[in-house]
Amino acid sequence: MTVTTGGGAAPPVGVLALQGNVAEHLDALRACGADPRPVRRPAELDEVAGLVLPGGESTTLSKLLVAFDLLEPLRARLAAGMPAFGSCAGMILLAREAIDARPDQHQLGALDVVVRRNAFGRQVQSFESDLAVTGIRGGPVRAVFIRAPWVESTGRGVEVLARIPGSVSGPASGKVVAVRQGPVMATAFHPEQTGDARLHDLFLHRVREYTA
């Protein structure tokens, strides 16, 4: 089922509600004028025009997608062009390949990228950085990284939206941390943690474009 929106109506947008900052994403979407809904079952997935995949633990989320009979329906909706926005673990699941993931982890393959799981290192639990993000007006985005991935490589058709500033020392310098390919976007960081809903608004513009 493909949901369409028209006449300026608030699009029904889901948040995968199996693990992670579900409430924070729902609040951010609501602040942008969307009609946000938690998604735990295939029938709930059928009713939304787009889906946010929140952070959490990618291996656990992969197993829960199977347990809740969501893996194949979600793959089918993504293949059919459903807009999606993944943050942190959501980015890992949307990628076609994840380095350092368990061999039995399921990938959704909606982004032609290779990501490295826990790329910033377990010894660094979290950090913050101001990022210039393509398509975001009003100044830099404050990005919160919590045991985050980064993008090792991108395929054709993948747009890089943000990188770690070159002024940051160490192996993270210049690494890709936000991407978009068609209706699917992903960030290595947690935009729902800061009260800045501009990335969610950017995603909703994509939802409206692809469901008009």
- For the annotated catalytic residues, the residue numbers are 88, 190, 192
Amino acid identity at 206: R
Closest CA to 159 of 195, 134, 142, 137: 134
If DSSP codes are grouped into helix, strand and coil, which group holds residue 22? helix
Backbone angles phi, psi at 114, to 5 degrees: -110, 125
Q: How many Å separate Cα 201 from the centre of its chain? A: 13
Using CA atoms, how far apart are residues 25 and 197, in angstroms rounded to an integer? 9
Residue 103 makes CB contacts below 8 A (sequence gap 6+) with none
Q: Length of the chain, please?
A: 212
The owner of tokens 């209706």 is 183
> Where do we find the tokens 């997935």?
45
